[in-house]
Amino acid sequence: MIHFAIKPLDRSLESALVHKINSLTKPKGSLGFLEELALQIGLIQHTLSPVFTNPTNVLFGGDHGVIYEGVSLSPKQVTYQQMAHFATGTAGVNFLCRQHGFNLVLVDAGVDAEFDPKLGILDRKVRRSTRNYLHEDAMTAEELEMAVERGAEVVRAIHADGCNVVSFGEMGSGNTSSSSIWMHVFGNIPLAECVGAGAGLDSAGIRHKLDVLTRALRRHDINELRANPLLTMAAYGGFEMVMAVGAMLQAAELKMTILLDGFIMSACLLAASQLYPEVKEYVVYGHVGDESGHKRMIEILGGRPVLNLGLRLGEGTGAICAYPIVASALHMINEMDTFVTGKVTKYFK
């Protein structure tokens, strides 16, 4: 498995950052969460004047073999269709990327189809779909390692192009099932509390989904899964999810700010943090959504979401929506006068 050199945040500038924030022409703490975000990003970038450059949303697509068990309202072909749709620039994620100045990078991690090269989708396919984990592991250890490395490779490329703030999205019919299993295993939460409607299942569909996942989990000892995150990822993951794990870990190593999206990307961060707990220090939690278990997972991760808009689209949309607020924290620390430069009497210690 590829090794990542992820270090805890260097806090040697923390006092100076706090002093600068508290010296701005405002009552102490009056800009609330923006002040916390400015401090975190200043620590990530190790500067008193943090800035964002070339924001990018990387969207990984992959199919899941378990889809044949009826765990998703969305049929398998939707993965291919939506990835091609993203490439046309007319989907949900596209208008948000345009609105907020994000580059969009589309990556075929394991879609069970081939894309026309003219679409501009990066071909990093490990395999055409994972296997059906009701009956066998979703991927081999070798395929897992390949997915992690390819996710990391994509991040290294956008970083080389000047990106220092990144969000990750996904497209993969059935991937809320894998996310529910990862949440159950890594979060030590009853599976029933992790399983939700996904793309729109009714109550009967949710019960069926829970039954399939319960039976799938019998193939491995739960204690072995909790002791071996790589086994859990390979047994029940998706290629787009494992690539996102590798991408998050590489972004943290490169000291990039990670804007976290929804339920599935939160499950990926939960998995990544089993391998390198320090990755969480580089994450800003974009939003909490309506998918069952998302709020619980953010609580496990110890995050504070920027937004609560009832979003559950995925694709990176919640993270991108949060970006202007996060960017406001940097405008605050860089553009506001201090009491000294603004010639305003500081009336508190």
Give the model confidence (pLDDT) of 43-81 as tens digits: 999 999 999 999 999 999 999 999 999 898 888 899 999
What pLDDT digit, counting tens, does each position of 84-127 carry? 999 999 999 999 999 999 999 999 999 999 999 999 999 999 99
Q: Which two tokens stand for residue 196?
A: 């939700």
Complete edge-to-edge strand list for the sheet that includes strand 122-123: 122-123, 103-110, 56-62, 165-171, 257-260, 283-285
* Residue 198 pLDDT class (50, 70, 90 cuts): low
Residue with tokens 């990542």: 4
Rounded CA separation 149/251 (Å): 12
- E-strand ranges in 155-198 read 165-171
Q: Which two tokens stand for residue 228?
A: 């071996």
Rounded CA separation 156/27 (Å): 41
Long-range contacts of 191-196 (CB under 8 A, 24+ apart): 191/217, 193/292, 193/293, 193/296, 194/292, 194/293, 194/296, 195/292, 195/293, 196/263, 196/291, 196/292, 196/293
In the predicted model, what is the mean pLDDT of residues 175-199? 90
Domain annotation covers residue 66: yes
How many domains, the chain?
1
Domain annotation covers residue 13: no
Report yes or no: 225 and 231 within 8 Å, Cβ to Cβ.
yes
CATH of the domain at 290: 3.40.50.10210
Domain that holds residue 184: 56-325
Is pTM beyond 0.85 here?
A: yes
Q: Which residue type does 346 have?
A: K
114 is a catalytic site residue = no
Q: Which two tokens stand for residue 70?
A: 């009826």
Rounded CA separation 208/7 (Å): 42
| Residue from 240, 253, 291, 315 carrying the catalytic annotation | 315
In the predicted model, what is the mean pLDDT of residues 221-235? 97
What pLDDT digit, counting tens, does each position of 294-305 carry? 999 999 999 999
What pLDDT digit, counting tens, does each position of 263-274 carry? 999 999 999 999
Domain annotation covers residue 18: no
Report yes or no: 189 and 153 within 8 Å, Cβ to Cβ.
no
Domain annotation covers residue 103: yes
The pLDDT of residue 349 is 72
Domain annotation covers residue 186: yes
What residues pair up with 108 in beta bridges, in sequence order?
Answer: 61, 123
CA 334, distance to chain mean position in Å, is 27
HSE-CB at 126 with a 13 A cutoff on CA atoms is: 32
Domain annotation covers residue 97: yes
Domain annotation covers residue 117: yes
Rounded CA separation 270/266 (Å): 6
Domain annotation covers residue 318: yes
